[in-house]
Structure 1
Amino acid sequence: MRDLLTRLDAATPADRDRALDALRALAVLGVVIGHWLVTALVMESGTVRVASPLRSMPQLAPVSWVFQTLAVFFLVGGLVATRGHLRARARGVSYGRWLAGRAARLFRPAAALVAVWAVAAPAMLAWGAELESVWALVKLVLSPMWFLLVFAALTAATPLVSRLHPAWPLAVVGVVDLARFTVDGADGLGWVNVVAGWLVPYCMGAAWARRGLPGRAAGWALLAGGGAAAVALVTWGGYPAAMVGVPGAPLSNLDPPSLAAVAFGLAQSGAAVLLLGPLRRLLRRPAAWGAVALTNLAAMTIFLWHQTATIAVASVALLAGRLPGLHTAPDGLGWVLARPAWLPVFAAVLLVCCTAFHVHERRAAG
């Protein structure tokens, strides 16, 4: 292992900003761990339903403020895509060829997941599983696909949106929220925010790619301003405290993205700026950089397969009966205390999934 870490460190170009890779890795792992903590597969009387402890224990909402890290992924994605497009254009690489390469990195790993579940779902039905239960599992596994579609669309639009000031999509989010919460029949407008909401961090990253990364003063301003706005919107604006979707909740900050979620994303972007310096110092160590590099090499596989790992653990463990923190309803302190013990098991099974299916991501990158 030490030799592998040393080789990874030596093979990394000297001018590569390792902190950006670390932010991307943290964003992916934040989503994965967050899902594992707040997504429960409740198995009762032969049926499966998806539940969240945030529904019965709303006081746990601050957990979602730690692990809902999608804005950081879009921020880094906008920065990296813009830099990549500018470099490709300077080398004479066509837009189509550049986009095809980036799209392959997203969709080839996704195609493998869809293929496996296209077989697994009918097999479960053939073995007697209820349609409602199978549908709940399929939705859980395929739900990350919305992220891929939005991220792919923004990537394709990089030449257009890279010069767009993030204040414009931010204003769109605000106007859309005002309309859908005050005008009868305007709920459908919320889906405009699926693009506009994530355009805010994406455009910010694109701007930083062109003008250079901001200093710590800007980071503190984003963190304080975005954080204060998010707290105010939750406290006085009627937005839910959880920054993730909660099954059965009347309103979500993420489905579609709300003004509160976008404000929270600005705070996260500020925190990302403040972390750049410490991360660069930490990543001079081969062991730390090796962990980040390996995570990034399998980032899409990790993201796509983490819920399948959860389902696999829950299914096999059911042979031992309904286990606390795994099959039981997330409605009390007992579940909260039991759940973290399952995370290493989920991670071990996810590692197996990555070993089996990372080849699709590696081929796309190669």
Structure 2
Amino acid sequence: MTDLQAPPTRVPAAHPTPARDTGVDLVRAACVSGVVLLHAIMVGVTVTDAGPVFTNASEGAWWIAPVSWLLQVMPLFFVIGGFAGVVAYRRQRERGGTATGFVSARIHRLLRPAVVAVGIAGAGLLILLLVGLPGELVAIAGFRYAQPLWFLGVFLLCQALLPALSALHDRAPRRTLALLAASAVIVDIVRAASGIDGIGFVNLAFVWLTLQQLGFFFADGAVDALSRQTRAAMAAAATATLVVAFATGVYSPDLIANINPPTGALLLVGVVHLSLLSLFRERIARFSTRPRVAAVSAFVNRRTMTIYLWHMPVLLAMAGSSSILALAHAIVLPTPGSGLWWLGRPLWLVTALALTAAVAIALSRFEEKAAPARTTGIRRSTAAAGVGISAVALLLVVGATPLTATAAVAMMLVSLRLVSPDQTAPRAASASATSSAWRSVRTMSGTTPWSPERAAPRAR
């Protein structure tokens, strides 16, 4: 492990630090858009005599497997996350920055928008209960909202470990990658042998860390240095292995099923994605410089976490509005998967993208604000990452409710406080933390000037 407590020193870069890659930025923007589209197409809303019914339209549907092959972009997103993260870390080290400084900045970038999103979601669930909506429907809404938040916790874990894994990569790149990948496969084997699916959740670490590590090779130029024939063979071999694994029942052909919990199939998907990205990198880069394409890419990349955090509330609001409209005007909503349902999907998907973009414009200031320049020591940054990950885990395990959302926001505020420039100890009283959480919610209505950034002001 690298010495994270070492004072800032200017060190020569072990690998070339490339300039910002607009092609990679475009692919990242496409990944974020793909996640929104995938989740949007999975929303099913019908109305019965008993009231509105919200379902996952993909459950048991034949079409989800081929759709998942097109829109399951998370392996590629983590590869790109590893690429962008290690490039940023190396550049920071060249300027005399530290590992703890990198981790602190990542915590701010990820948790600041999450504090607002989770706080407002908790307030919204409380309002739904107060106006008399059935508790069962509110619980479903909270469950659906919390599901995509796994990404926040896992990405925070990956970024917090990035400096240490980067140091291991510099010393033994192939061995480090092999150990991570082998660990992921071993978890799959133990899960299958024991029949205990819960064991698979250990791969929330190993699978995504392996994919992030692949991004380090991409940043080194090691992948692009391979011949085109070799990269094409890598993609073909990984695809063939996937097909065999699907045909023999080792993994499900539904890539959505392979994400909860994650399986080794995603590693093969990541190899395919990385190989194709490298093969078409120059074409993607040229396309990314077109003015309109560049504008869309820049819009999404400035607001990546805001879009991710808010697309599910937007989809839930769309589903609720559809059911209210259907009930008010006696409209029969098409059955998910039917011809009429598919006929309406293009309008539904475009609306989801447009509304998510509108919300992102309104709330992106929490993500775009620069992180503090001053940082804390390894203990505080490690504790901050742990508290932030625990906050997300609470929502995933228990579900999003007004109470769990309040607790999660309080924990995130503690995490941010730990890596803020102000070295005073965070407030210990839970009542004070809860009060701070709800002030972040009231900020959006303009009732108070407080905001999460005030705990971490921009360095002058």
For normalisation by structure 1, the TM-score amounts to: 0.86
Equivalent in the alignment of 1:349:
355
| Conservation of the 8 A alpha-carbon contact between 2:37 and 2:353 | no
The 1:331–1:281 alpha-carbon spacing in structure 2 relative to 1, beyond 3 Å, is: closer
**Which structure is higher in helix share?**
1
Residue type matched to 1:227 in 2? T
Alignment of 1:109-188 (within 5 A): 109-162=113-166, 163=169, 164=173, 165-184=176-195, 186-188=196-198
- Matched letter for residue 200 of structure 1: T
Contact 1:31 1:68 (8 Å CA) reproduced: yes
Alignment of 1:25-44 (within 5 A): 25-44=29-48
Letter in 1 for 2:233: A
Q: 1:239 to 1:43 in 2, by over 3 A?
A: farther
Contact 2:72–2:255, Cα closer than 8 Å, also in 1: yes
Distance in 2 between the 1:261 and 1:89 partners? 31
**Partner AA of 1:310 in structure 2:** L
- After TM superposition, list the pairs within 5 Å mapping 1:322-337 onto structure 2: 328-337=334-343
| Contact 1:18-1:280 at 8 Å conserved across structures | yes
Larger displacement relative to structure 2 (205-214 or 299-308)? 205-214
Name the SS for the 1:253 alignment partner: coil
* 2:209 matched residue in structure 1: 199
Give the whole-Å Cα distance in 2 for the aligned partners of 1:217 and 1:325.
56
* Structure 1 gaps, min length 5: 1-13, 245-251
The CA deviation string for residues 92-134 of structure 1, in whole angstroms up to 9 with x for no partner, is 1122222111221111111111011111001101111122211
Report the AA paired with residue 83 of structure 1: V
The 2-side partners of 1:57 and 1:72 are apart by 25
Number of residues of Structure 1 aligned to a counterpart in Structure 2: 344
Q: Could you say what secondary structure the match of 2:311 adopts?
A: helix
Q: 1:324 to 1:76 in 2, by over 3 A?
A: farther
Give the secondary structure class of the aligned counterpart of 2:280: helix
Q: CA deviation at 1:148?
A: 1.1
Confirm or deny that 1:320 pairs with 2:330: no
**2:315 is equivalent to residue 305 of structure 1:** no
Cα distance, 1:154 vs structure 2: 1.0
C-alpha RMSD of the superposition: 2.4
Compute the displacement of 1:339 (Å): 2.0
Corresponding residue number in structure 2 for 1:240: 252
1:257-336 mapped onto 2 (5 Å cutoff):
257-321=262-326, 328-336=334-342
> CA 1:181/1:324 → structure 2, altered by over 3 Å: closer, same or farther?
farther
2:211 matches 1:190: no
Q: Residues 36 and 353 of structure 2 are in contact (CA less than 8 Å); yes or no, is this contact kept in structure 1?
A: no
Distance 1:84 1:52, change over 3 A: same
Q: Do 2:311 and 2:356's aligned partners in 1 also have CA atoms closer than 8 Å?
A: yes
TM-score, normalised via structure 2 length: 0.70
Q: Kindly tell me: are residues 181 and 152 of structure 1, through their superposed partners in 2, closer, same or farther at Cα, counting changes over 3 Å?
A: same
Residue identity (%):
28
Moved more, 235-244 or 152-161: 235-244
Q: Distance in 2 between matches of 1:325 and 1:229?
A: 47
Instruction: State the match for 2:451 in structure 1.
Output: none
Higher-Rg member (1/2) = 2
Compared with structure 1, are the counterparts of its residues 161 and 221 closer, same or farther at alpha carbon in structure 2 (3 Å cutoff)? Answer: farther
Q: Equivalent of 2:345, from 328, 339, 344? A: 339
CA distance in structure 2 between the aligned counterparts of 1:320 and 1:149, rounded to whole angstroms? 36
Residue type of the alignment partner of 1:146 = W
